[in-house]
Amino acid sequence: MPDSTGPADRGLRNVGGEPTQGLARPRRRLRRAGWAGRSSQTLPRVANRVPRQEEYIARVPAIAILPWFLAGALFPITALPGFLTWVAKFLPLTHGLALMRYGLLQDASGLHAIWGQGSTTTMAALSLAVVGGFAVLLTAASIRVFSRSAVR
């Protein structure tokens, strides 16, 4: 079997001493589903272009911090420019963070930044519905993708 591992996977061995498949198998499944250009492919693509593991480790935080940056984990989404505020309101991470702040700290400012309504309970219910909706959609998509690839 040819070694199809990327630079970030080199040197990984399973119990029998054979090279692991690394990221190759999940990449093929996502390509079959038509997800080749999505953000889920960003880190594996970086891994294949970086010559050494140390360089890969240095580049990951710059890519991985972007969703947290847009979701309001570092500062309120109201501080973002208009277009990015609009994008942040569609991210489930933004809603999850606002719900956690409301539940743990009794701070409803994140919910007000997203929904702009008066009733905190209604805004929390709407954000919970958004997070639940994303969970249902991603679960259905993953079942479809991986059940198709398991049949082949």
User: pLDDT tens digits for 109-125?
Assistant: 999 999 999 899 999 99
**Residue 104 pairs with which residues in a beta bridge?**
none
Q: What is the pLDDT of residue 94?
A: 96
Do 20 and 3 touch, CB atoms closer than 8 A? Answer: no
Alpha-carbon gap, residue 32 to 139, rounded angstroms: 17
The lowest-confidence range among 37-41, 103-107, 131-135 is 37-41
At 62, list the tokens. 């710059």
End-to-end, the C-alpha distance of the chain in Å comes to: 19
**What are φ and ψ of residue 37, in 5° steps?**
-100, 5
Instruction: Evaluate if pTM is beyond 0.75.
Output: no
